[in-house]
Amino acid sequence: MVFISLLTHELGHILMAKYFGWRVVEVRLLGFSVYPELEFNGLEGSFGKVRPHRDFVSFAEDGWVLLMGSGFNWLIALGALFVLYLFKLFRVLNFCLNTIFVFASMMFLDFITYMFGLRLSGGKEPLAAADYLGWNESVFFTTALILGLIHLIAIIYLIITSGYWRNFKMKPDSPYQTPGTNSQTGL
């Protein structure tokens, strides 16, 4: 899941850069240090480059490209959270499907970890993006943390109320069952 999160993070940068008409020159994946540096006005990073077609890139464009790395993962997490809600609504009790969407709904943590600089790159992309976009960083930071907490509470609520764990049952001939116990009750 971590590798998928890294790939979708980079995809978010690339899609937003393409939206602004930038030309993606290179994206290198180096272990866990996955991060495309953006090249504009002669700057170049060591992990990757994204070049615009124009000579000048506005701070707003650069801010949106920075924000959409982690922002894209949060959008995926919101989509997965919505699917989990639909599973609850229509009583879909497939443990594997629910597990996939529970993990996908946690991809918003990519955004939160970057805000605190808890990445190998040490960067704080969302805060840098807020600065480039002219947003108040402390308000942005507080808002993101509150929304992240609400998102986490929604995940926990859906896990508890959807019957997620009821679908996980031990098979009668399981080697983990102690001899002389009932497979249904464990007694």
pLDDT tens string 154-163: 999 988 888 7
132-151-137 Cα angle (round to 5): 20
Please tell me whether residue 89 adopts helix, strand or coil conformation: helix
As given in the structure block, the two tokens for residue 48 are 């990757």
Give tens-digit pLDDT for 56-87: 678 888 899 889 988 999 999 999 999 999 98
Residue 156 lies in a domain: yes
| Higher pLDDT pick, 33 / 140 | 140
User: Quick one: pLDDT band at residue 53, thresholds 50, 70, 90?
Assistant: low
Q: CA–CA separation, 85 vs 161, rounded Å? A: 10
Q: CA–CA separation, 110 vs 92, rounded Å? A: 27
Chain-centroid distance of CA 149 in Å reads 14
| Type of residue found at 24 | V
Residue 21 lies in a domain: no
- Residue listed under structure tokens 């943590």: 109
Give the count of domains, the chain: 1
By residue range, what is the domain housing residue 134? 2-10+59-167
Phi, psi of 26 (to 5 degrees): -165, 140
